[in-house]
Amino acid sequence: MNSLDLDRAVETFALATDLTVGVEEEFSILDPRTLELTPRFEQLRDAAQADPQLREGIAGELISSEIEVISGVGSDLHDALARQRERRRRMFALANSESVALGATGTHPWADYREQPIIDTEHYRRVADGLKYVAWRNNTFSLHVHVGVRDIDRAIRAVDRLRPILPLLLAVSANSPFLDGRDSGLHSARTQSFTKSFPRCGVPDAFGGWAAYRQYIEFLRRTNSIVEFTQVWWSVRPHFSFGTVEVRICDAQASARESEALAGLMVACIAQAVRDVDEGVPFVDPPARLIEENMWRAIRYGLDGQLIDLERAREYPAREAIERLLAWTAPVRAELAIDPSFPERNGAQRQRQLIAAGATPEEVFAASVGETMDSYPAEVTV
């Protein structure tokens, strides 16, 4: 479909099935000896053509040293994860046969963005030409989930309700303390590098429904700001091609267990937001400036810091974000059999623990890549 055919987008959402799930995991492609980024996406893509399932289960993401593994449409979270595990297994086996390693942190600790070629597709040529440095600089890796939502107005209203929980999900997922060969002092350098740099990115405005969102997209189109809706890079957005609500705020996760737990939590949040819309649960849209206070805290301190209860204007330990999200989503999680569990320390905290013990960036990254290479090809359950 024409990605700016808004009438078609309405039709897509009208035909969508509630609570279908898609998972997208982005991996860095690495030289297994040096752990440097290596531009081998095209090689892996071509090698995957012999495997029909894997051929449909991978995609490029801006730079040639990155590859995305995608589940496709699962009937629910459990189906999507089963599909993703099989595609991951095949992808890691292929990578091994092609003599590359795969990493899963939000940033590469020392890679020089100036040396990373952009993949040769019409979409990414357009991105690179339109954004220049902003696109070139974006060597980042993340975890996205899609959840089917019938009716586009309902989807937009669910997106509104997800805005204030974006920083909580980011704090839980933080996994990128290094950038440009140095300790950034942040827990999610990825978010600072990408979300704070790209246009139409980060926390969206509250739109209240499809009418206002459509006016916004039409404004962007009329003023030649975008030519396809995927140039709207909000951290939560309606996906016009799939009829889904997509959450895009989270860093890539070092271990498969963490990735699946986080995917389950994101799915539960989207499902609960839709349920709250349907049941008319009272909700007041917080101003973006208040949500941004929590976004900065999540970027800077992750789960080690304090977040703000926006309704009460009080701080609370960021670690409570997990319990707060689990409590809010308890009704839908019980129905959907989603029961994620998280380690005592997330990826950024584990990396910072090694940093504090005197490990070099190379040693810290090697430990993370070891987790990834050990856990993603294996069978895991949530």
How confident is the model at residue 379, as a pLDDT?
55
122-146 mean pLDDT: 93
Spell out the long-range contacts of 42-49 with Cβ–Cβ below 8 A and sequence spacing 24 or more: 42/119, 42/120, 43/98, 44/91, 44/94, 44/95, 44/98, 44/100, 47/94, 47/97, 47/98, 48/91, 48/94
DSSP string, 208-219: -SHHHHHHHHHH
Question: What percentage of the chain exceeds 90 in pLDDT?
Answer: 94
pLDDT in tens, 23-66: 999 999 999 999 999 999 999 999 999 998 899 999 999 999 99
Query: Model confidence at 299, in pLDDT bands (50, 70, 90)?
Result: very high
Q: Where are the alpha helices (DSSP H) in 178-255?
A: 189-194, 210-222
How confident is the model at residue 1, as a pLDDT?
44
Cα distance between residue 45 and residue 94, in whole Å: 10
Buried b (16+ CB within 10 A) or exposed e, 114-129: eebebbeeeebeebbe
pLDDT in tens, 178-197: 999 999 999 999 999 999 99
pLDDT averaged over the chain?
95
Cα distance between residue 224 and residue 232, in whole Å: 13
Pick among 3.10.20.30, 3.30.590.20, 3.40.50.510, 1.10.150.530: CATH of 6-373: 3.30.590.20
Report the phi/psi class of residue 200: left, alpha or beta, with left for phi > 0 and alpha for psi in -120 to 50: left
Residue (of 133, 142, 309, 301) closest to 235 by Cα position: 142
106-117 mean pLDDT: 96
Query: Model confidence at 2, in pLDDT bands (50, 70, 90)?
Result: very low
Q: Which of 122-126, 219-223, 231-235, 336-340 has the lowest mean pLDDT?
A: 122-126
| Domain ranges across the chain | 6-373
How confident is the model at residue 204, as a pLDDT?
97
pLDDT of 380 strictly over 70: no
